Structure 1
Amino acid sequence: MIAPSLPELVARAAEHPFLGAHIVLGEGEHAQQAIAHYRDLTVASAYEPIFDVGTHSFPQTLSASPESAERFGDELGLQALTLIEGDLPRDPFAHLDDDRELVALDRLSRALHAFNFFGRQRAGLLFLRVHERLLKSVKYDHGLHFSSVLLEFGINPSRVVIELPAAAVAHKTFLGYLTKSYQHYGFKVAGNLPNAGQIMAVSEMARLDFIKMDAAAALRDSVVKHLVGYAHRLKIPLIFCNVSDEAQFNALQQFDVHFVQGPVFDAHAGTAR
């Protein structure tokens, strides 16, 4: 399934009862992308690459010159980041007291990111975070609404990874239900570990497609080797996220880490984004 172009997606959105009131093609600094207006806020998309550094056909260091290594191995996909412009703080979700407002903004953001990703014919997987309060506000059939929206616009849900927050992963039964529900509607599911020990729940209650762990926390607690070994036995890809500097990246390389993402790569990724 090849998604329509970005202008086609925005044109179709104009007929949608919810998205049509918010999503438009951007201008100026937002040219060649879709943006959304929600109350006094402007919502835009950015993307952070997730690299497979397990391939050995390039220098295993961030210090390599851009001429000798433009990329960090293969790209697994992109993590969508929500950029907010307006009077509210960077994370307006935390300041929305009405759950219905939060659900609307969360769903709008994910649809916008999907338009900007698939409408530009990007390769790989799209990782989309879902807010903890949305998970609690929606009582059942998690993934049904978003899957129906994507299919309506000709977008394949199988290339979308719904990323569950650490608070949801911490509850075994809830994690199992969420994972099965999202997978039922065609999505892949990633879970952010609240701590290293929580990886045990992955095999007990949910068959996640990806596991994510904060790189700094794993290195601080000296659990990288343990996590890599256990994830390998589970046959579930493990992504170390929030890699902030070259020291962390180099430390991870000692433990056969494959998948990494974080702000440290922004200055080195070149055209990969």
Structure 2
Amino acid sequence: MRRAPRHQSALHVFMIPLTIPELVERASTHPFLGEHLRMGTGPRSGEAIATYGDVEIGSSYEPIFDISVHALAQSLSSSPDSADRFGDELGVQAVTQLADGTPLDAFDPFDHVPDDQQLVALDRMSRAMHSINFFGRQRHGLLFLRVHERLLKSVRYDHGRHFSTVLMSFGLNPSRIVIELPPAAVAHRTFLGYLTKSYQHYGFKVAGNLPNAGQILSVSDMARLDFVKMDAASALRDSMVKPLVSYANRLKIPLIFNRVATEAQFDLLQQYDVRFVQGPLFVVHENRTA
């Protein structure tokens, strides 16, 4: 049986939700975050942004939909003006952008930090920023936050302790955050088991990105993940959607097909009783109907 987090008693003592400016003000008293988090200006006024050196980053979010809720049988294009045609939101995936809106595909500050301790600081800073922008808007559902592979290797033990302490000092609930582990961590069964138990111990949920479809066979014996993620294009190409759905159902672990980029992929996934989907396709349509 999973141990209750050490902070369990504190998890029940959350205040009236704070706004983004109030959370940024609270972060200003933090010895590290106070130096790097501030309110944005211009297009990002009303949001928290973060600065590190000459790099300025902001938050964007990619929705994760439960498409079984509405039992969609029609194609995506059959209801182009319906904002809820995908289903209900399970939550959102935080995506770090440069503050001017440039995707990190063009320039990823994480790739330009040679020192591991600096990377740890940048990773923690970005997760705090995403959390403030998510909770400060009183968004519903879960917040999925990626953790950089190098951070996992640089922090030797008690993964999740620092972030949980920061969140609770802001009055934010770790149980609504899903720490998303990279494929390299999922590929190492013993390490995956340790990471999952550590983050769950501090109140978080944990998702693992499968490096390949076959890796799902090892996620149950070493780690009881809360979610599993699989690249939709890869699963469709290798005809692995149906067996993945079947095995995940047996494990009783929710399976999210991410990186769904086209309507054709979405239609194919629906044929296999896929429940959770995520990807750039849904951001495009969300923006159209906003």
Per the alignment, residue 147 of structure 2 pairs with: 130
Residue deviations 1:45-82 (CA, integer Å, cap 9, x gap): 00000000112365642203343454411100000000
Secondary structure of residue in 1 paired with 2:86: coil
Following superposition, the deviation at residue 266 of structure 1 comes to 1.8
Per the alignment, residue 70 of structure 2 pairs with: 56
Secondary structure of residue in 2 paired with 1:267: helix
TM-score (norm 1): 0.95
Alignment partner of 1:38 is 2:52: yes
Alignment partner of 1:79 is 2:96: no
Question: Where do residues 1-273 of structure 1 align in structure 2 (5 Å cutoff)?
Answer: 1=14, 2-56=16-70, 60-85=74-99, 90-270=107-287
Per the alignment, residue 5 of structure 2 pairs with: none
Residue deviations 1:9-56 (CA, integer Å, cap 9, x gap): 011111111111111111101111110111000010000000001123
For residues 102 and 272 of structure 1, the distance between their equivalents in structure 2, rounded to whole angstroms, comes to 37
On the 8 A contact 1:77/1:123 being kept in 2, the answer is: yes
Residue deviations 1:178-225 (CA, integer Å, cap 9, x gap): 000000000000000000110011111000000000000000110000
For residues 71 and 247 of structure 2, the distance between their equivalents in structure 1, rounded to whole angstroms, comes to 26
For residues 104 and 231 of structure 1, the distance between their equivalents in structure 2, rounded to whole angstroms, comes to 35
Aligned AA for 1:133? Answer: R
For residues 62 and 122 of structure 1, the distance between their equivalents in structure 2, rounded to whole angstroms, comes to 25
CA distance change for structure 1 residues 11 and 136 in 2, over 3 Å: closer, same or farther?
Answer: same
For residues 112 and 253 of structure 1, the distance between their equivalents in structure 2, rounded to whole angstroms, comes to 34
CA distance change for structure 1 residues 212 and 99 in 2, over 3 Å: closer, same or farther?
Answer: same
Secondary structure of residue in 2 paired with 1:51: strand
CA distance change for structure 1 residues 29 and 69 in 2, over 3 Å: closer, same or farther?
Answer: closer
Secondary structure of residue in 1 paired with 2:77: coil
Q: How many residues align?
A: 273
For residues 93 and 173 of structure 1, the distance between their equivalents in structure 2, rounded to whole angstroms, comes to 26
Calculate the aligned-residue CA RMSD, in Å: 1.8
On the 8 A contact 2:44/2:99 being kept in 1, the answer is: no
For residues 44 and 74 of structure 2, the distance between their equivalents in structure 1, rounded to whole angstroms, comes to 34
For residues 5 and 126 of structure 1, the distance between their equivalents in structure 2, rounded to whole angstroms, comes to 17
Residue deviations 1:102-142 (CA, integer Å, cap 9, x gap): 00100000000000000110000000000000000000000
On the 8 A contact 1:59/1:69 being kept in 2, the answer is: no
Comparing 58-67 and 38-47, the one that deviates more: 58-67
**Structure 2 unaligned spans of 5+:** 1-13
Comparing 131-140 and 8-17, the one that deviates more: 8-17
For residues 106 and 175 of structure 1, the distance between their equivalents in structure 2, rounded to whole angstroms, comes to 19
On the 8 A contact 1:49/1:75 being kept in 2, the answer is: yes
For residues 249 and 190 of structure 2, the distance between their equivalents in structure 1, rounded to whole angstroms, comes to 23
TM-score (norm 2): 0.90
Aligned residues with identical type, % of pairs? 68
Could you list the runs of 4 or more consecutive aligned residues of structure 1 that deviate by over 6 angstroms after TM superposition? none
On the 8 A contact 2:83/2:289 being kept in 1, the answer is: no
Secondary structure of residue in 2 paired with 1:4: coil
